[in-house]
Each structure stands twice: as structure tokens, then as C-alpha cells.
Chains A and B, each alone.
Chain A
């Protein structure tokens, strides 16, 4: 059983800040917004008044809250009016090759992108993603199937004949 004490919270931030940040980035496509979302999500965790069963339970909760938070942000009028500058540019995050791949992934449809991230990076199963996001399994598999096709096209277009 995990009770959110300051010590426990610090441990969970160490453990999951990357996951929350990357999940948020899949939605908002902007590093600074993703960072803001991450801090808001951890605030929710810190002020959440229920206990968790395990680290995996916390992780799944964080991903779900991050997804919901991002969806609300994307829907908000102010966000749409002030589209972040980074959206139209490369995301200056890390090395050239990785940056190039990330830019390609960011061209995917948002729903496909976040679902593929959870499946291929976080290694959740379809059933788990469906449960976390509150979607049907068929929706998740549709996104994976279409995401793969979209990504394959984008990678080939970007000169990735084979992944090296």
C-alpha cells in the first residue's frame, strides 16, 4: 500500500516524472507545456487523498490523469488561440537522430501517437491502455493499426527505409 507522504511523493517523482512528461508531450507536442502539465499532475497526486496499491497503480493513475489534463488543455479556447511556437518547429530536446524520429512521431494523429507511446514505449497491453484511458479495446487497436500505417508512411517519406 502506498500512502502519499512527502518522502513517498519524492520517490514517485523520481520514478515517474519522465513518464508523465513524455505522456504529456504526446498530447501537447510542446516541451514547456508538457512540463507545466507534469507539475499540475504531480500536484494532483500530492493532494490526492486516497492510497494506491502499488507503483504500477500510481503509474496508471498518473497516465490517466495526464491524458485527461492534456485533453482539457487542448480543448480550452485560450490554448487554441495561443498555439505554442514549438508546434511548428522541431522540438529541440535531444540528439539529432532521436530528434528527427520524435518529429516524425509528432506528425502522427494525436490519438494514435499517445496510444502508440503507451503500447510501444510504456509497454502496456491493449487491455491495460483501454482501462487506463477509459476507451474500448477496439478503439485502442484501431489507433494502433492506423498509427502503425501512418508512422510507416512517415518514416519511409523521411528516408527511413529500415530502422538503424
Chain B
């Protein structure tokens, strides 16, 4: 899910009922009356604004050595988990689910960092990334004598954590438990960011692990998230330099012939087709980019509209269609020229070298 996009879509066209001019006159009138009555009481202390927050100290006891875990297996489980929910979707198809077998070991980095706390050990296992997306997998292994087991009505354990790059261009987008094996809980965190002149290569991922917790969800009292909570503090900050090979995109220029594609313009909740020409495609195992030049409709391209891709799938060397239910995508639109750039994050990995064609906007383009 692209939460920035969701919030932008929901809130961007919301405006106050009262016009700005009216707000000013109302406020000035009220202030004048208050002044006359000498009842001005709004002298509040200066708010603390954007103060630097306290540094979180890493409460580690030890940083251990590698224990020989399965890098491929860990990321395989992540993407299996990532596509599993599709089974409940009404338009579910068998190949929606990632079945495993992708070789993640070519890129990314095995980290094997172990931090021991009073009741559990946190092990950061590995990271994979392309230019705009990073996945980190880590384990929490509870001490056997700690009360970690499943409890009636309790939610799953969750690690409250945040990833940001040092330049703040990318941050946490998603995270969850991948698997539970007795006292071993495997989690992932995903960070995503803008593609605009930024790349994760050479950047540093700063991961703040705040605390582990679980509780009973409270649907009645809106002031309390959970009525009861079991919490273990963590307070650990780990910096992961992206000094390892990341998935570089395979960039392709689309030939003039057969590059016509149709995009969808959601205007006021209705779908319209927008004629476009696909210009470039770049594909990495974790995400892909498409750039289009649209034929600007007579009524123009509007900022409030949503611009979507229809019929988006790849075909591999064996002729099999690889369809995606995208994790999220972002669209950059140049409203003057009609240029549009889609950045799509995939919910299962692909090998760009195995892709022979892309079908997008109703048009199939051979990739050479």
C-alpha cells in the first residue's frame, strides 16, 4: 500500500467550509470584541517545535557472529507472505502467489547482527534492495522462560520500528511478521522512497527498533489503542550502509512501432481512457518504471485525477504471463507536456532477464 498516495488522494481536495477571506474577517471581528471586553486569554507559552528528539541508545549486550541461516529462504518466505493474502481476493488466480525459488543471494547482504536483551535476542538477518525499495528481515527469539506464547484475544507480537535513510528520502512503508516457529518470530520491514534523482546505492538505512509489544485490541474506547498490553523495550538503532550490490534496473527503450498504450484517467470517480505512447521501461526484480507521453485530452490533465495502468503483466521466455497485484505505485505527471512516469513496486520478485515482453495499457511491447 502506498500510504502517502492514499492520504493525498483522501485529503488533497478537502477545503474549509469558510472561505479564507471570511476567516480573516471573522477572526479579526472576534478579536476586536475580545479586546473591547479585555478578555484576551490566549497567551500560551511558546510551543516546542521540531526540537531534536532524544538520541536512542542501543541497549545491546552483544553483537554476535553469523549463525549460518538461510538468506534465500528468509526472503522467499517474505514474498510468499506478501502474496498469500491474494487467496482471499475475489479475482484470485493461481499464479498470483509467489511460489519461491528466486535467487536473492546475487544481491543484497547477509548481516547476521545479534543483539541480546533481557528476554529476547534480536537478529538482523539480511537486506535486499533496488534503487527505491529495501527489505530487511530480522528474527526475534524469546527466552524460553519468558511468557511469549499465543494468548486468547491477544494480537500478534509486533516490533515497533522505523526505517529512514539518512537523507530522509525513504522511510518505512510496511512491515509484519513473516513466520512464527515456537519462540522464533521472523519479521520484515520495507522502506520505500521517491525515484527522483535518489537511489539507495551509497545511502544508509537507519533502523530504529523501539519496542516489542502485543495487546488486546480495543474497539470501544477511542482513546486507547489496546486495553491491555505486554511490552518489551528495545531502544536500538542500527545503521546499515547500502554498500552492497543492489538490483540495478534493466532499462529498455521502446521502439516507435507498437508503442501506443491506453492509460486510465479516474475523473470524479469515473474511468476515462487517455491515449499514450510508452517510451521507456526499466525493470528490476523488485520494481519497475514506465514512462509515457500522453495525448493531452481536450479538457486537460487535472491534478485531482488518478492516472492508472490497465492490463499490466509481463511474459517470460516460456510464454507464461506474470501478473502482479502491485504493492503500490506512484505516478509523476507533467501536466503541461503530458509526460507520465509510473513507478511500480512488485509484490513478488521477477528476473528481468527472463522477461520477453511487457503488456501495459492494452499493448504488448517486445523487450529486446
Q: Residues of A at under 8 Å CB distance from B?
A: 6, 9-10, 13-14, 17-18, 20-22, 25, 31-32, 34-35, 38-39, 42-44, 46-50, 56-57, 60-61, 64-65, 93-98, 101-102, 104-105, 109-112, 116-117, 120-121, 123, 125-128, 130-132, 134, 137-138, 141-146, 148-149, 151-152, 155-156, 161-164
Give bound CA distance, A164 to B263, whole Å. 12
Point out the residue from B2, B9, B27, B222 that lies within 8 Å of A109, measured CB to CB. B222
Q: Is the CB of B326 within 8 A of A162?
A: yes
Contacts of A25 in B (CB 8 A): 14
B111 to chain A, nearest CB (A): 21
Contacts of A94 in B (CB 8 A): 13-14
Give bound CA distance, A10 to B134, whole Å. 44
> 1/0 contact trace for B192-217 toward A, CB 8 Å?
00000000000000001011010000
Work out how many contacts link A and B, with CB atoms closer than 8 A. Answer: 201
Point out the residue from B9, B91, B208 that lies within 8 Å of A98, measured CB to CB. B9
Stretch in B49-57, B119-127, B143-151, B248-256 with 4+ CB within 8 Å of A:
B49-57
Point out the residue from B3, B11, B175, B325 that lies within 8 Å of A161, measured CB to CB. B325
Choose among A20, A104, A162 the residue with the greatest number of B CB atoms under 10 Å from its CB: A162
Q: Is the CB of A143 within 8 A of B225?
A: yes
12 contacts between A and B (CB under 8 A): A18-B16, A38-B23, A101-B10, A121-B11, A123-B4, A128-B50, A131-B50, A137-B210, A145-B175, A146-B158, A151-B1, A161-B325
B62 adjacent to chain A (CB < 8 Å): no
Q: Is the CB of A101 within 8 A of B49?
A: no
B193 to chain A, nearest CB (A): 12
User: Which residues from 1 to 47 on chain B have a C-beta closer than 8 Å to any C-beta of chain A?
Assistant: 1-18, 20, 23-24, 26-28, 30-31, 34, 40, 42-44, 46-47
Give bound CA distance, A96 to B267, whole Å. 10
- Given known A95-B269, A161-B89, contact A142–B14 (CB-CB < 8 A): no
Point out the residue from A38, A60, A117, A162 that lies within 8 Å of B16, measured CB to CB. A38
Closest 3 interchain pairs by CB?
A96-B269, A101-B10, A120-B7
B6 to chain A, nearest CB (A): 6
B164 adjacent to chain A (CB < 8 Å): yes
Other A-B pairs beyond A57-B50, A97-B266, A164-B266, 15, CB < 8 Å? A44-B44, A93-B14, A96-B268, A111-B223, A120-B3, A120-B7, A121-B11, A131-B51, A137-B53, A137-B208, A145-B160, A145-B161, A148-B174, A152-B174, A161-B91
Query: Residue of A at shortest CB range from B17?
Result: A35
Contacts of A105 in B (CB 8 A): 6-7, 10
B306 adjacent to chain A (CB < 8 Å): yes
Q: Is the CB of B20 within 8 A of A17?
A: yes
Point out the residue from A102, A104, A125, A142 that lies within 8 Å of B225, measured CB to CB. A142
Query: Residue of A at shortest CB range from B347?
Result: A162
Contacts of B12 in A (CB 8 A): 98
Give bound CA distance, A20 to B223, whole Å. 21
Contacts of A146 in B (CB 8 A): 158, 225
Query: Residue of B at shortest CB range from A118?
Result: B7
Contacts of A50 in B (CB 8 A): 46
Q: Is the CB of B49 within 8 A of A43?
A: no
Contacts of B20 in A (CB 8 A): 10, 13-14, 17
Give bound CA distance, A93 to B56, whole Å. 42
Give bound CA distance, A98 to B43, whole Å. 38
Point out the residue from A39, A47, A104, A132 that lies within 8 Å of B42, measured CB to CB. A47
B347 to chain A, nearest CB (A): 9
Q: Is the CB of A162 within 8 A of B325?
A: yes
Give bound CA distance, A149 to B23, whole Å. 37
> 1/0 contact trace for B319-357 toward A, CB 8 Å?
000000111110000000000000000000000000000
B304 adjacent to chain A (CB < 8 Å): yes
- Given known A6-B28, A42-B27, A142-B210, contact A127–B53 (CB-CB < 8 A): yes
- Given known A42-B27, A125-B168, A132-B50, contact A102–B11 (CB-CB < 8 A): yes
